[in-house]
Amino acid sequence: MSETLPISVLLLARDESGALASLLPALGFAREVVVVWDPRGDPATAALARAHGARVLERGFDGFGPQRRFALAQCTQPWVLWVDADERPDADLVAAIRRWLATDPGSAGARLTRRTWFLGRPIRHCGWGDEQVLRLFRRERASFDDAPVHERVHVSGGIADLGGLLEHHSYETFEVCVEKLDRYARAGAERAWRAGRRAGPLALLVRPPLRFARQYGLQLGFLDGAHGLLLCGLAAAQVFLKYAWLWERGRANAAPTPGPEETPA
């Protein structure tokens, strides 16, 4: 068996027992797996993580940034690998990490190539082509921001690029796609509202078709076949919902508050 690497795997979980069953066995190269579990979720998720040797910590979810900062503070190894329950490092990526750490790199972190799958198929276009994500970093030189979704880690120092793939299986069923569509739309609307942005009927008419045209046409989504068509359509629907939520938020806040004389007796 190969020697484990001085890496803490950082992982958030709630109801991911199915995903963790295939992810955790692939993390045997790391010296430590830290799972921060939201106790409002399925206890089977925490039990499965413990059965695979992970250190499980319970903490109620209050945002991805705060949750990941808490998880980072629990890590004990000099290097941290951030993965999500629906991601899998392939053998080439593990080998690349092993070789890179053996060189005693001076960098503060490394970007990994992530490939996203949609309903059982890898997506090459639609703006979803292989992306470089910062996921391996020195524990003492990293911090997470407070973005409500798609939070990022920031490091102090240089960043390298590694080979191999981090396979991302985030959209395995249509039900999951729809659930994430609404969740991301609400989060996007809330972020826009806090930034002072407002929306009206024009945004609902213009922005969704523009998103579809960009992803399906300019970003060559049509080359992904039926999967590309469905993905781009859902992306446009998410934009519609985002601006609908933003419009409704503005409408609700503009509604006059009833005066005392208007309050029913």
| DSSP 8-state symbol, 148 | S
Q: What is the pLDDT along the chain (265 residues), one digit of tens a residue?
A: 579 999 999 999 999 998 999 999 999 999 999 999 999 999 999 999 999 999 999 999 988 889 999 999 999 999 999 999 999 999 999 999 999 999 878 899 999 999 999 999 999 999 998 899 999 999 999 999 877 667 789 999 999 999 999 999 988 899 989 998 998 999 899 989 999 999 999 999 999 999 999 999 999 999 999 999 999 999 999 999 999 999 999 988 876 655 555 544 3
Tell me if residue 3 falls in helix, strand or coil.
coil
Predicted local confidence at residue 129, as pLDDT: 86
Pick the CATH number of 5-171 from 1.20.870.10, 3.90.550.10, 3.30.930.10, 2.60.120.200: 3.90.550.10
Predicted local confidence at residue 198, as pLDDT: 93
User: What Cα–Cα distance (Å) separates residue 103 from each residue in 96, 160, 251?
Assistant: 11, 12, 58
Comparing CA positions, the residue from 155, 123, 136, 20 lying closest to residue 77 is 136
Taking the alpha carbons of 75, 60, 179, 216 in that order, is the dihedral positive or negative?
A: negative
User: What Cα–Cα distance (Å) separates residue 237 from each residue in 234, 248, 258?
Assistant: 5, 16, 35
CA angle 176, 178, 179 (to 5 degrees): 65
pTM of the model: 0.82
CA angle 228, 21, 136 (to 5 degrees): 70
The amino acid that residue 243 corresponds to is Y
Q: How far apart are CA 103 and CA 256, in angstroms?
A: 65
- Residue 59, H or E segment: none
Q: Where are the domains of the chain?
A: 5-171, 174-253
Predicted local confidence at residue 148, as pLDDT: 62
Helix, strand, coil distribution of the chain in percent, nearest 5: 45, 25, 30
Strand partners, 165: 113
Let me know: does 165 contact 93? Beta carbons within 8 Å: yes
Predicted local confidence at residue 161, as pLDDT: 94
Predicted local confidence at residue 151, as pLDDT: 79
Comparing CA positions, the residue from 53, 143, 130, 135 lying closest to residue 97 is 135
Predicted local confidence at residue 265, as pLDDT: 39
**Cα torsion through 109, 79, 42, 238, rounded to 10:** 0
Tell me if residue 153 falls in helix, strand or coil.
strand
Let me know: does 77 contact 97? Beta carbons within 8 Å: no
